[in-house]
Amino acid sequence: MAKNNKSAKASALRAKLADDAAGKVEAARRAVDEADARLVAAAEKNDEEAKAAALRDRDAATADLERYQKAASLISGGGTMAEALIENGWGDNPVTVTVIGPAKGRRRAGYQFGANPVTIEVTLDQLKLIEGDAELAVTPGTGPVTLAGAVPQRLPREAFLGKDGKPGAVTVLGPAKGRRRAGRSFGASAVTFTPTLEELELILGDAELSVAPAPGAPAAAD
């Protein structure tokens, strides 16, 4: 009976911690969105002082959001692919994974990762290093193995605009730890939407995000 009571108390504590973490994550998301809105307003008014203040506040709120999201993940007890493979006796067999890094580039386990997905074969030790890096999005590999190359250049804003000067649909990927910009959350799963010009500027201005025209988006102006 004592053991059951102890287990129940532990479960109740975990639930409370999870609720607290979720509340902090949501508050940090709102703070990032508010700073984004102030940044857009300051840019429209050419107010450099207000723009600098909004950038400082956004960076601080983004750091808070990443910290709270990590805490929430730890509380939920989410495991990694490496842990699951070890539990299932994978041994020394290579693992095929697809990895996406930030547009600014990220080097881990002997590979260079960037905005373009890279499919590689790695050992479990390498997989641990890659999955342990919150800047990288890691999923089970699909398709042929590719070689990690140079970090691709960010496409210019004009590449995302149609002939009417308006943005077309974009597909955005962020780091595994998550990234909040332009009122949306981005991470390892692709998010496709049609941004406003202001939202496009915010997303393209963030080196943590990988942005590409969505399939079927209107052709860019010549």
- The DSSP code sequence of 67-99 is HHHHHHHHHHT---HHHHHHHTT-TT--EEEEE
What pLDDT shows up at residue 167? 92
Angle, CA of 141, 129 and 86, to the nearest 5°: 70
- Counting as low any pLDDT under 70, the low residues of the chain are 1-18, 70-80, 83-89, 141-154, 215-222
Given the candidates 1.10.645.10, 3.90.700.10, 3.40.5.80, 3.40.50.720, the CATH classification of the domain at 81-140 is 3.40.5.80
Which residue in the block uniquely carries the two structure tokens 């950038």? Answer: 55
Write down the domain spans for the chain.
2-76, 81-140, 157-213
Radius of gyration of the chain (CA): 20
To 10 degrees, what angle do helices 2-44 and 48-76 make? 160
For the entire predicted model, the pTM comes to 0.54
- Cα gap 19→10, rounded to integer Å: 14
- Cα gap 33→164, rounded to integer Å: 28
